[in-house]
Amino acid sequence: MYDVSKIREDFPILSRTVYGKPLIYLDNAATTQKPRQVVESISDEYYSVNANVHRGVHFLSQQATELHEGSRETVRRFINARSVSEVVFTRGTTESINLVASSFAGGLMKPGDEVIVSVMEHHSNIVPWQLQAERFGIVLKVIPMDEKGELLLDEYEKLFSERTRLVSVTHVSNVLGTVNPVKRMIGMAHAKGVPVLIDGAQSIPHIPVDVQELDADFYVFSGHKIYGPTGIGVLYGKEKWLDRLPPYQGGGEMIQKVTFEKTTFNELPFKFEAGTPDYIGSTALAKALDYVSAIGMEQIAEYEHGLTRYAMSRMKEIKGMRIFGEAEQKSGVISFLVGNIHHFDMGTLLDRLGIAVRTGHHCAEPLMHRLGIEGTVRASFALYNTKEEIDTLVSGIERVSRMFC
Ligand code: PMP
């Protein structure tokens, strides 16, 4: 039984008020709220274990190292990676993509080589490639989509050439909610010998992810979107690729031997983890993964699917409602506009009713151009949201709409 009221008790922030109204937090695609278990893990570790990890001979350092490396194992299990060597801790999705873009382009690509992305990418899966395009003369190709917000796989197939070196696409769109058929897309790329990076920022909190089942070459995500802390995230990479990539940053931890003449690098995953890692964050991230695992990712997916279906049907009842993203496979992200009301006005007035939504281009300007709009209002759901909150959102939107008539 999915007990949402019990789950809500773990998130103290959900019982606060804003402007005297109960908070209705529907900005989960930007970041999620944290359960007690995660917040307490941070203070507990600072209070009772804190010491720098790896190589320390003293008790605390060893204990901190055990926690940090234990968290890597928790991540491995959560995404079903083959080995902990394939789990690199980063600052988040953005840093993970920058790492791959920089090392892949710098180490394995030549001018004129191509990377395929999609029209619905977040800026963090566009700009890192453009930076490399400028440095190394690589070329970006873009998968188009249809009116429902589904990628056109026939067009995708046509984008491959002799020069395609990598595909980098999002699992779930942070604007449209589209769940892309990444397993199929990976299969199509592999048939041409091309590896694939999946941006899992919006999928990891909502659907079960098995990197081996998907056969993803790289899978990246952020801790803060899955009820963990900010400042920590993950780059999963198949060992055969991580082995071939040159290091991203230099410094402590990532070396084996340093002389002024030559430096050799540490084994995986440490080769990509220069400097003191966020060992407090990794423990808290593991707590977040334990938290969702205890509820069950399948159960969460099913619950959120129900919420999304309910919200879609209720929101469509609203006069003048335009919803962007009607894919068959859709997660709990609903982007919309009502009549001629500016997204910013809608967001600001909903906020006064205690409803937190996001407005703007959602860091996906090329997608906004494709849709022919400047921005949307976006409501995005998490495991603690309820149908009652959706009812309040719907009556809030109706109330704001009436003000503009
Ligand atoms: N990709 C997608 C699809 C996202 O939604 C986001 C966050 N909005 C990112 C990447 C970037 O994540 P972060 O800012 O945590 O690095």
One DSSP character per residue, 99-151 reads HHHHHHHHHH--TT-EEEEETT--GGGTHHHHHHHHHH--EEEEE-B-TTS-B
pLDDT for the residue 55: 82
Report which ligand 1 atom has the smallest distance to the Cα of 230.
15
d(CA 258, CA 261): 8
d(CA 78, CA 210): 8
State which H helix or E strand residue 168 sits in.
strand 164-170
- Helical H segments across 228-379, by residue range: 239-244, 279-295, 297-316, 343-352, 365-371
Q: In this structure, which residue's CA is closest to atom 8 in ligand 1?
A: 30
d(CA 44, CA 110): 48
d(CA 283, CA 74): 9
Tell me which of 108, 159, 312, 363 is the catalytic residue. 363
d(CA 138, CA 155): 20
pLDDT for the residue 168: 98
Among 98, 122, 226, which is best to mutate for testing ligand 1, by the most ligand atoms less than 8 A from CB? 122
Task: Note the pLDDT tens digit of each residue in 108-167.
Answer: 999 999 999 999 999 999 999 999 999 999 999 999 999 999 999 999 999 999 999 999
Low-confidence ranges of the chain (pLDDT < 70): none
**Which domains does the chain carry?**
4-30+296-403 (3.90.1150.10), 39-294 (3.40.640.10)
d(CA 189, CA 216): 10
Residues with CB under 6 A from ligand 1: 29, 92-94, 122, 124-125, 170, 174, 199, 201-202, 222, 363
**Sequence letter at residue 197:** L
pLDDT for the residue 235: 98
Q: Is 363 a catalytic residue?
A: yes
